[in-house]
Amino acid sequence: MPGFELFGDRERAQVQDVMDSGVLMRYGFDGMRNGHYKALELEKVLAEKMQVKHAQLVSSGTAALTVALASAGIGAGDEVIMPTFTFVASFESILALGAIPVLVDVDDTLTLSPEAVEKAITQRTKVVMPVHMCGSMADLKKLKTICDKHDLLLFEDACQAIGGTFEGKPLGSYGDLGCFSFDYVKTVTCGEGGAVITNNDQFKLNADHYSDHGHDHVGNDRGAETHPFMGYNFRISELHAAVGLAQIQRLDEFLSIQKRNYMIIREALASIEGLTFRKVPDGGVESYAFLSFFLPDSETAKRVHGALGTAGVDACFYWFDNNWHYYRKWEHLSAKKSLPKVSWEVNELLRDYSTVDFSQSDHWVGRNISCLIKLGWAEDEVRARADKMVAVISKSI
C-alpha cells in the first residue's frame, strides 16, 4: 500500500486504450467506444474477486459509503452505528443523507466493539457499520449475530482493507453491503474512485440508478432514460476505471508483497518486551496494509512515535492526535459546523461527542502506533527498517 508505487506498463496501456477511444465518460457514446467499457469491466472483475453478485463503481470511497446507505433506504433520522476510530468520510456519508452517526467504542481490534454496539442500539438504529481500519477487520461474526437479533443491516466499510478475509470470505462481502476506496493512497488505486459490493439485487439496482442522477440505464439512448427516483452524480470516469482495472488484476501480487514486508517487521518487533500487536479476530486474515501495535501506555506511545520520526522511520502514525481519524479532533462534528443548514433530525438527534466518555477507545488508540507497509520497499530495505525500529523502540520504551 499504496498501489501507485508500482504503476507500470499495464496501467499505461489501459489508460491509453481510453484515450484512443476518446470516450472518458462511463455511460453513452456507444458508437465511439469500439466495445470498450472500462467501468463495466472493472465491476465484473471486482465482483469476481470479492465473491459477490454485484459491484457498482463510483467516484470515491466517500461516494461509495453514501450510495450504499442510500441504496438500502437509509435517510433522515435513521441511526447508523460507527466507530470512534475511522476516517471522517464515515460520518460525512451518514450526515449527507440526513441520518445520524452514532459513535461507539473500539476494542483491541481497533474496530467496533460488539459489546459497545449492543448497548448503543435504539429504536432508530438501522445499520451497524464496522470500519476495517488499517487493513484488519472487526469481529464480523459477533456483529452479524447482533444485527440478526435486532433486524439491522451489517454494512462493511472495507475502504482500508481490500484483500483481507474473514472466515474465508473477502472483507466487504460478509455483510449486506461493503465498500472500497480506490483513492491515490489505497492498495488498489484508480487515482480517485470507490465501489459498492453486494449480493442484494435491489441494492445493486438502487446503487446503479442513485449514483447517476436516478437514470434507469434502460436501452441505448441516454436521453430517453427514465428516472424511477432522484439521484446524484457519483459516477466514476473511464480514465479512473482504466487505472483500477490494471490495478485490481495485480491485487494478489500486491498482497504478497505487503505480507512479506509486514511479517519481516512484525517478527523483529515481537522481541520487544512490553510491545503487543492488535488483535485479529479468529477466522480473520489481514490485508497487511499496516502493522499496528500497542505500547504499555499513551505516554510511551507518544515518546516512541516521536523517536521513530526523529530517527527517520517514516509512515508511522499515532492516531490518537490525528485530525482526520479519531473522534477527539472532530470538533466540526460535535459543533455541527456545516455550510448549509443541517436537517431538523440531525440538529435534534446528533449528540455532542466532545462530552461523551470514550475511555475504552482512548485506552486502545492512545497506546497504538500503526506503520504503513509500502509496496515499493526492497527486502533488504525492509530488514534494515525493522532493525532500526527495534533499536529505537527498545531504547524509548
Helix, coil or strand: residue 264: helix
pLDDT, tens digit (0-9, with 9 covering 90-100), for 320-377 = 999 999 999 999 999 999 999 999 999 999 999 999 999 999 999 999 999 999 999 9
By the 8 A CB rule, do 50 and 97 touch? no
Give the domain-ending residue among 190, 218, 250. 250
Integer Cα distance of 306 and 303 in angstroms: 5
Q: How far apart are CA 83 and CA 131, in angstroms?
A: 7
Looking at the fold, whether 196 and 267 belong to one and the same domain comes out as no
273 plus 257 within the same structural domain: yes
Contact of 385 with 371, CB cutoff 8 Å: no
* Per annotation, catalytic residue among 186, 204, 302, 374: 186
**Torsions phi, psi for 251 (to 5 deg):** -55, -45
Query: Count of alpha carbons within 13 Å of 130, Cβ hemisphere only?
Result: 37
80 phi/psi in degrees, rounded to 5: -120, 115
What residues have CB less than 8 Å from 298, skipping those under 6 apart?
320, 362, 366, 367
Could you read off the pLDDT of 111-125 as tens digits, one per residue? 999 999 999 999 999
Within this chain, do residues 202 and 268 fall inside the same structural domain, yes or no? no
Q: How far is CA 237 from CA 39, 193, 219, 233, in A?
A: 8, 9, 20, 11
Residue 5 is classified by DSSP as G
Supply the range of the domain harboring residue 360.
252-396
Domain boundary among 190, 216, 250: 250
Share of the chain above pLDDT 90, in %: 99
Among candidate residues 195, 221, 250, the one where a domain is terminated = 250
pLDDT value at residue 71 = 98
Same domain (yes/no): 176, 310: no
Is residue 71 within 8 Å of 79, Cβ to Cβ? Answer: no
Burial of 145 (0-12, 13-18, 19+ CB in 10 A): middle
Distances (CA, A) of 251 to 247, 280, 338: 7, 21, 38
Q: Give the total number of structural domains in the chain.
A: 2
In sequence order, the β-bridge partners of residue 197 are 55, 178
Same domain (yes/no): 14, 80: yes
What DSSP letter does each residue of 219-253 carry, written as one string? Answer: SS-GGG---SS---B-PPBHHHHHHHHHHHTTHHH
User: Is residue 186 annotated as a catalytic residue, yes or no?
Assistant: yes
CA atoms of 25 and 302, how far apart (whole Å): 47
- Asked if 54 and 204 touch (Cβ cutoff 8 Å), the reply is yes
Q: Using alpha carbons, list the distances in angstroms from residue 47 to 56, 71, 75, 154, 169.
A: 9, 17, 27, 19, 13
Q: What is the CATH number of the domain that holds 303?
A: 3.90.1150.10
pLDDT at 182: 98
Averaged pLDDT for residues 36-64: 98
Looking at the structure, tell me whether residues 269 and 193 fall in a common domain.
no
% the chain with pLDDT above 70: 100
Do 38 and 84 lie in one domain? The reply is yes
Q: Is the pLDDT of residue 210 over 90?
A: yes
Tell me: do 44 and 183 sit in the same domain.
yes
Cβ-contact 177, 198 below 8 angstroms: yes
- Give residue-wise pLDDT tens across range 243-276: 999 999 999 999 999 999 999 999 999 999 999 9
Chain centroid to Cα 50, Å, comes to: 15
Average confidence (pLDDT) over 85-94? 98
> What average pLDDT does the segment 304-332 reach?
97
Instruction: Indicate if 226 and 241 belong to the same structural domain.
Output: yes
**What does the pLDDT average to over 220-237?**
96
Check whether residue 215 and residue 143 sit in a common domain: yes
Q: Are strands 153-157 and 125-128 parallel, antiparallel or unpaired?
A: parallel
Confidence of residue 34 (pLDDT cuts 50, 70, 90): confident
Using H for helix, E for strand and C for coil, what is the string for 179-198? EEECECCCCCCCECCEEEEE
